[in-house]
Amino acid sequence: MAQELQHRQPDSAPSSAFEFATKAVHAGEEVDLREGATGEVVTAIHLATTYARKKVAKPERYEYVRLQNPTREALEVKLASLENARYGLAFSSGMAAETSLLLTLLKSGDHIVAFDDLYGGTKRLFEQVFANFGVEASYVDATNAQLVERALKPSTKMVWIESPTNPLLKLADIRAIAAITQKRGLILVVDNTFLSPYLQRPLDLGADVVVHSVTKYLGGHSDVLGGALLVNSEPLYERLQFHQNSTGAVLPPFDSYLTLRGLKTLALRMEQHGKNALAIARYLEKHPKVSRVFYPGLESHPQHALAKSQASGFGGVLSFDVKGTMADAENFLERLKLFTLAESLGGVESLIELPSLMTHASVEKAEREKVGITDTLIRVSVGIEGVADLIADLEQALA
Ligand code: P1T
């Protein structure tokens, strides 16, 4: 392991003085004008799986692609810089990042306290994969930090939240929960997929680990599957890197390149996603066929003040309940022309879906109903198209 850690990333602190949009373009991709370097302004896609060495016992800078790859490293440095983290690790999917994190930190008998509204795949990972290895999870309404504290057991090692949650856009007070976990030496994990570091940086609010599905806003164009972990603690980074290499679910070079490319416009995209989402949320709120709209940017959202205090915007995802039955909701979805009926979120194009039959079908119906995922709940990932066109499409399908 000692040898592997020679390849630790450089501290990303030097670029932290720059504004977010500057780091999004340049961090991790400083142009190399030294003697013999190409001076290329775009990071190359390095495809070699292995690297030559001069000495048997000592590798040069690179060794083997699972351990390190220059394209992936550029991305890891950029991601760390954007999240104000010291270290970043890029994985082959969001689920791979989550799996690697759980394998690194937990063992049989350990307990997780998790938000009761989470991406269905994360709950499935806890309940149908890690439960088989003796890791237990319990779920609480983490909109109330006291309920998180009350759910802690002597065996609790980790608190896991999304904020805002998928799909109900509930928020957790990250500072308040971090105060609870720090007092007890527990790990606070925040899945920051919905807002991206442009709008929220959980490590600055006291979290220990940030998780991302890179597949969403970070990639931004619905053409990359990826995940990431961001941390400040050096010992934790070393353990995560050891597990990443030992288990092997690293982000491939081409996907690392696509993510580097996508990240350069993250600031612009998030601005437009947010503007469009707010306009659509306001439109839906007034529509007679819509019973409820969930979007933290609306004054009617019960945690609108908290949203403003811990994030600089509200993101591009919203959800709403249509009046009527599941069949009415399906009917509406199938009549849309501009919105694409599909899972996932965070791309430039608008996507729409029915969580109870799609992204959250793996969550038991009783449990879905307990948290508020009704059969008529619709989730929208608002893209960056012209918002009048999007509203016109909703209008014709709701009519
Ligand atoms: O799909 P993958 O890159 O493995 O990421 C999993 C994941 C993790 N965390 C959150 C908050 C997510 O939303 C996801 C993936 N979500 C979807 C595919 C979806 O449509 O909600």
pLDDT value at position 15?
52
Q: In this predicted model, what pLDDT tens digit does every residue of 199-241 receive, in sequence order?
A: 999 999 999 999 999 999 999 999 999 999 999 999 999 999 9
Q: What is the 3-state secondary structure (H, E, C) of 372-396?
A: CCCCCEEEEECCCCCHHHHHHHHHH
Mention every residue, 6+ apart, whose C-beta is less than 8 A from residue 260.
28, 29, 43, 71, 74, 75, 78
Query: Is 117 touching ligand 1 by the criterion CB < 6 Å?
Result: no
The answer to whether residue 117 scores a pLDDT higher than 60 is yes
Based on the residue annotation, tell me whether 321 is a catalytic residue of this protein: no
Structure tokens that stand for 237 in this block? 């980074």
pTM of the predicted model, to two decimals? 0.95
**Substitution candidate for ligand 1 out of 196, 213, 255, 258 with most atoms within 8 A of CB:** 213
pLDDT value at position 123?
95
Residue closest by Cα to atom 13 of ligand 1: 119
Instruction: Decide which of 3.40.640.10, 1.10.10.10, 2.30.40.10, 3.40.50.620 is the CATH code for 2-263.
Output: 3.40.640.10
Q: Where are the domains of the chain?
A: 2-263, 266-398
CA of 227 to the centre of ligand 1 (A): 9
Residue closest by Cα to atom 21 of ligand 1: 344
pLDDT value at position 285?
98
Query: Rounded to an integer, what distance in angstroms lies between the CA atom of residue 218 and that of residue 220?
Result: 5
Helix (H) / strand (E) containing 353 = strand 351-353
Mention every residue, 6+ apart, whose C-beta is less than 8 A from residue 251.
72, 75, 90, 91, 92, 214, 226, 227, 259
Measured CA angle at 195 (ends 190, 196), to 5 deg:
80
The answer to whether residue 4 scores a pLDDT higher than 80 is no
Which region among 15-29, 309-323, 371-385 has the lowest average model confidence (pLDDT)? 15-29
Structure tokens that stand for 350 in this block? 């608008």
pLDDT value at position 247?
97
Mean predicted confidence (pLDDT) in 287-291 = 98
Is residue 124 a contact partner of residue 151, using CB atoms and an 8 Å limit?
Answer: no
Query: Is 343 touching ligand 1 by the criterion CB < 6 Å?
Result: yes
Query: Rounded to an integer, what distance in angstroms lies between the CA atom of residue 179 and that of residue 162?
Result: 17
For the chain, how long is the longest CA-to-CA vector? 74
Is residue 250 a contact partner of residue 90, using CB atoms and an 8 Å limit?
Answer: yes
Instruction: Decide which of 3.40.50.1220, 3.40.50.2300, 1.20.1180.10, 3.90.1150.10 is the CATH code for 266-398.
Output: 3.90.1150.10
Query: Rounded to an integer, what distance in angstroms lies between the CA atom of residue 107 and that of residue 219?
Result: 32
Is residue 377 a contact partner of residue 385, using CB atoms and an 8 Å limit?
Answer: no
Based on the residue annotation, tell me whether 191 is a catalytic residue of this protein: yes
Give the phi and the psi of residue 364 in degrees, each rounded to 5.
-55, 145
Q: What percent of the chain has pLDDT over 90?
A: 94
Query: Is 381 touching ligand 1 by the criterion CB < 6 Å?
Result: no
Provide the 10 A C-beta neighbour count for residue 277. Answer: 26
CA of 352 to the centre of ligand 1 (A): 14
Residue closest by Cα to atom 19 of ligand 1: 344
pLDDT value at position 14?
43
Residue closest by Cα to atom 20 of ligand 1: 344
Same fold, 2-263 and 266-398: no
Query: Is 380 touching ligand 1 by the criterion CB < 6 Å?
Result: no
The answer to whether residue 12 scores a pLDDT higher than 90 is no
CA of 393 to the centre of ligand 1 (A): 26
Based on the residue annotation, tell me whether 86 is a catalytic residue of this protein: no
